[in-house]
């Protein structure tokens, strides 16, 4: 384990609410400008003609200190008069857009329609919100998460928000992922020789992390990364803290435990962080495991977990690249 | 003068705030479904990627009973959190968009981008707001008012809102007016044999009424209309009630009086309604003039003025079409 220096960098992969909690913890304990958060954009969609990036906004608002503390998504001190008027006008109201939040959607829509990159919009927004971390979409290409359910294929937000994750999931795919490229920020951070750890946040592995890993260049870059890759299991006490993770695992015929999570990231990770309530699972794992408290109820929890992960990463050995092994003579 | 029947129809031409006051008066004293308001869309513009129709919205909100009573534009009980966040993000904030108001802009933008007509959006919005009048844009084609100032050409909202009407006006033109066609609702109302009066509201003749008249088919239809055409002068006591009308008249070298207004509409109108404070101007006019109180401070004023105009129209003779005269052998 080496002492961390000013140039040491950390990369986090995350989706929305749950993952953003750990991203905030990392942001707060690391030096300014040393954290890169690569964010899922498989959830992005066009609604009411607006280009909406739910996970990017959650990370921006969370790191910018303006996220609503109770909902976890959207802005604090939000009002809903746009929605009320929209309802009055007979518009679609199943996806809630707050009045403050709309400024992001309207600005982003104008930005993207003029042919500019999502990455640059996020950089600009992060600057405006005083965020001293690199927040990067997984890709500037549109990759779309499609949830294959017993009722047919559903675009992510239709499954997640409109249908409240009710239809049983048969599979999940990421349309146009094969042709997508990592965003410049994501590629740069993963190949940076100063990167000391790649942290897969406790976001939903199937809905929030897999879309990121479905970008071929990101998966390759993580496989090739010199830094250890650590996943934080979203399972606590044999269940998911929040959201549909456990429900989806059951629907996909998977056991809801850390072993399933470990197997899911097999070949990609060098270490797994699990909750103490799942300590019994340690015996079955074939990679180093850090057992700690992964529930993040408050800011102190987030900072402590982030700090433990960074320390843990410093003691991990990087496994040989799985890809490199495949290509070995 | 004939007694009005259920099928008698009235057409009003107007711009935003001032004209909408009289449109509301007409709306309240006429039977449901008998008023058509043809609204200026020369002020329409795209801002932040949103398609904004200020005068149409003012008329919709006014007739729908949700206009802000103090500002005259926008929605009552409005909030401004979108603007606050936009400012935070470094966006353009010179044009104020209220949170409720945004629902109209976002919905309209989506509607127009999908290739549908502005007219149909307005019909749908009027239905949603419970407005029992036909509100029609002057055209479904984009006509744009350009104010030629001593500082150069300014798009209308840049002149009106961004520059607060400060640069002196040298001329006003209506880009793409020559190729524009009246909207279906405007054409239908003006050619309807049951139309008993065409009322030019006391909107700014140069900025709000002229763009409507610049649509060739509208001017022709008004010239050909069987019903008398009555203009209500926006001048009260040798000045304009509000807005830049008097300032622009002076800058264009025009005397600020009802004679100038009468001359402006020469060949188009059969009667002029002026304020009692300008009664001295009557002697110089060559068309019938109704002298009354045209200042509309409250709802009763609006209804009384509307009622007087309708009665006045019933007693007017339609002059021979100026166009017909021009083409006579």
pLDDT digits 0-9 by tens, B55-68: 999 999 999 999 99
CA of A48, closest CA in chain B: separation in Å? Answer: 6
Are B82 and A91 a contacting pair at CB < 8 A? no
Query: How far does chain B reach from its first CA to its final CA, in angstroms?
Result: 32
CB atoms < 10 A from the CB of A266, how many?
Answer: 11
pLDDT in tens, B261-304: 999 999 999 999 999 999 887 765 578 999 999 999 999 999 99
pLDDT of residue A318: 76
pLDDT in tens, A218-273: 999 999 999 999 999 999 998 887 788 999 999 999 999 999 999 999 999 999 99
Nearest CA in chain B to A121: B89
Q: How confident is the model at residue B5 (pLDDT cuts 50, 70, 90)?
A: low
Chain B CB contacts of A125 under 8 Å are 89
More confident residue, B70 or B38: B38
Are A82 and B107 a contacting pair at CB < 8 A? no
pLDDT of residue B301: 95
The pLDDT of residue A283 is above 90? no
- Number of residues that make up chain B: 329
Are B85 and A78 a contacting pair at CB < 8 A? no
CA of B235, closest CA in chain A: separation in Å? Answer: 36
pLDDT of residue A284: 58
pLDDT in tens, A30-53: 988 899 999 999 999 999 999 999
Q: How confident is the model at residue B321 (pLDDT cuts 50, 70, 90)?
A: low
pLDDT of residue B285: 58
**In sequence order, which residues have a C-beta less than 8 Å from that of residue A304 and are 6 or more positions away?**
A25, A293
Chain A CB contacts of B81 under 8 Å are 77-79, 81, 98-100
Domain boundaries, chain B: 9-326
CA of A112, closest CA in chain B: separation in Å? Answer: 10
User: Phi, psi at residue B35, to the nearest 5°?
Assistant: -105, 135
Give this complex's ipTM: 0.91
The predicted model gives B123-127 an average pLDDT of 97
Chain B CB contacts of A49 under 8 Å are 106, 109-110, 113
pLDDT of residue A304: 97
Are A110 and B48 a contacting pair at CB < 8 A? yes
CATH of B9-326, one of 1.10.10.10, 3.30.1390.20, 3.40.50.10680, 3.40.1160.10: 3.40.50.10680
Please name the residue ranges forming H helices in A129-279. 156-157, 184-191, 210-213, 216-224, 245-251, 258-264
Pairing of strands A152-155, A229-232: unpaired
C-alpha–C-alpha distance, residues B91 and B109, integer Å:
19
User: Phi, psi at residue A180, to the nearest 5°?
Assistant: -80, 155
Strand, helix or coil at A79? coil
The predicted model gives B128-135 an average pLDDT of 96
Q: How confident is the model at residue B241 (pLDDT cuts 50, 70, 90)?
A: confident
pTM of the complete model beyond 0.90: yes
Any idea which fold A9-327 has? Rossmann fold (3.40.50)
Average pLDDT taken over every residue of chain A:
92
As a three-state string, the secondary structure of chain B is CCCCCCCCEEEEEECCHHHHHHHHHHHHHCCCCCEEEEECCCCCEEECCEEECHHHHHHHHHHCCCECCCCCCCECCCCCHHHHHHHHCCCCCCCCCCHHHHHHHHHHHHHHHCCCCHHHHHHHHHHHCCCCCEEEECECCCCEEEEEECCEEEEHHHHHHHCCCCCCEEEEEEECCCCCCECHHHHHHHHCCCEEEEEECCCCHHHHHHHHHCCHHHHHHHHHCCCCEEEECCEECCEECCCCHHHHHHHCCCCCCHHHHHHHCCCCCCEEEEEHHHHHHHHHCCCCEEEECCCCCCHHHHHHHHHHHHHHHHCCCCCCCHHHHHCCC
Chain A CB contacts of B121 under 8 Å are none
Nearest CA in chain B to A106: B48
Q: How confident is the model at residue B99 (pLDDT cuts 50, 70, 90)?
A: very high
Are B84 and A100 a contacting pair at CB < 8 A? yes
C-alpha–C-alpha distance, residues A261 and A258, integer Å:
5
The predicted model gives A197-214 an average pLDDT of 96
- Selecting from B78, B103, B109 the residue whose C-beta is nearest the C-beta of A86 gives B103
Task: With CA atoms as reference, report the closest residue to A148 among A95, A200, A206.
Answer: A206
pLDDT in tens, B185-225: 999 999 999 999 999 999 999 999 999 999 999 999 999 99
Pairing of strands A45-47, A50-52: antiparallel
């Amino acid at each position: 384990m080496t002492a961390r220096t000013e140039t040491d960098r950390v990369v986090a992969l995350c989706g929305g609410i749950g993952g953003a909690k750990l991203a905030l913890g990392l942001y707060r304990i690391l030096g300014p400008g040393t954290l890169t958060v690569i964010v899922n954009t498989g959830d992005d969609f066009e609604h009411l003609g607006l280009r909406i990036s739910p996970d990017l906004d959650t990370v921006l608002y969370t790191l910018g200190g303006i996220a609503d503390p109770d909902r976890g998504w959207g802005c604090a001190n939000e009002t809903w008069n746009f929605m009320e008027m929209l309802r009055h006008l007979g518009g679609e109201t199943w996806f809630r857009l707050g009045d403050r939040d709309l400024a992001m959607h309207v600005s982003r829509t104008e930005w993207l329609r003029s042919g500019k990159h999502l990455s640059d919009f996020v950089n600009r927004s992060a600057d405006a919100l005083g965020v001293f971390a690199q927040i990067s979409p997984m890709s500037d290409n549109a990759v779309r998460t499609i949830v294959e359910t017993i009722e047919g294929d559903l675009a992510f937000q239709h499954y997640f928000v409109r249908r409240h994750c009710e239809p049983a999931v048969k599979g999940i795919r990421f349309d146009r992922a094969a042709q997508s490229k990592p965003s410049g920020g994501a590629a740069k951070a993963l190949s940076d020789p100063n990167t000391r750890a790649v942290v897969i946040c406790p976001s939903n592995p199937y809905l929030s992390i897999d879309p990121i890993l479905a970008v071929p260049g990101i998966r390759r870059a993580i496989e090739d990364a010199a830094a250890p890759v650590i996943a934080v299991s979203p399972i606590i006490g044999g269940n998911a803290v929040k959201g549909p993770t456990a429900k989806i695992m059951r629907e996909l015929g998977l056991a809801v435990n850390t072993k399933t999570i470990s197997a899911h990231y097999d070949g990609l990770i060098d270490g797994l962080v699990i909750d103490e309530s799942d300590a019994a699972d340690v015996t079955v794992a074939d990679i180093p495991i850090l057992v700690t408290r992964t529930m993040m109820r408050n800011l102190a929890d987030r900072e402590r977990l982030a700090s433990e992960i960074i320390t843990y990463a410093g003691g991990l050995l990087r496994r040989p690249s799985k890809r490199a092994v495949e290509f070995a003579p």
